[in-house]
Amino acid sequence: FGVNCSGMHINMSLHRDGRNLFEDASDANGLSKEAYYFMGGIMRHVKGMAAVTNQLVNSYKRLVPGYEAPCYMAWSASNRSTLIRIPASRGQGTRVELRCPDPACNPYLSLAVCLAAGLDGIAKGLTPPPEVTENIFAMTPATRKRRGIEALPGSLEEALAAMRKDKLVMSVLGQHVTSQYIAGKEAEWDEYRTRVSSWERDKYIINY
């Protein structure tokens, strides 16, 4: 409690014939249109991906304002409060860094949904919103709303609901995996929400 939790940032790039397709020296950020479209795809599907990249009840106690982990959907080449960051390296090192996953995730499923979301963005030409260079945590709710900055799911329950609505994520994992995964995670959430924690006892037993 009160400290930054462990993340598992996923760095992604796309190569063809030895060339990094995310790099474009003529762009202000050094990024190609494929890089922007890839980010657009990630941001389109990240709510539906969250139950995979952040699969525990405890995962959502990391994705809260004021710590290093992102909880708002934005990207930047320099801002460390955003969901997607573009590390400084360019040329063959140009890459997109997704900062919300944590080490409890299944890496095979997480990489599968990340790749599918990014490629869907390229296939459909999904342009991400403008870069956000300011500290999002310092913004008021009204400012975030005006800027169109949405929040990631705030709990495993919300993430599972978003996953059910995302046809791409569901199709990538397949009917068997999604049905078993969602059933198991819903059971986990039900078990959690019916338990009385030590925080509840410490907080309420004297006062009420």
pLDDT tens digits, 75-110: 998 887 899 999 988 989 999 999 999 999 999 999
* Residue given tokens 């059910």 in the structure block: 164
pLDDT digits 0-9 by tens, 102-144: 999 999 999 999 999 999 999 999 999 999 988 888 889 999 9
- The CA-atom distances, in angstroms, between 15 and each of 22, 135, 182 are 8, 32, 33
Distance CA 42, CA 79 (A): 18
Distance from the Cα of residue 130 to its chain's centroid: 17
Q: Own/partner pairs for 158-161, CB < 8 Å, 24+ apart?
A: 159/47, 159/50, 159/51, 159/54, 159/60, 160/51, 160/185, 160/186, 160/189
Query: Quick one: pLDDT band at residue 6, thresholds 50, 70, 90?
Result: confident
Q: Which segments of 33-157 are extended strands (E)? A: 75-76, 84-85, 96-98
- Residue 161 burial by Cβ neighbours in a 10 Å radius (0-12, 13-18, 19+): middle
Query: For residues 45 and 167, what is the distance between their CA atoms, to the nearest angstrom?
Result: 9
The residue type at 103: P
Tens of pLDDT, residue by residue over 32-60, are 999 999 999 999 999 999 999 999 999 99
Task: Report yes or no on whether pTM surpasses 0.85.
Answer: yes
Buried b (16+ CB within 10 A) or exposed e, 81-98: bbbbbbeeebeeebbbeb
Tell me the C-alpha distance between 84 and 61, whole Å.
Answer: 19
Task: Give dist(CA 177, CA 38) in Å, integer.
Answer: 25
**Contact (CB, 8 A) for 38 and 122:** yes
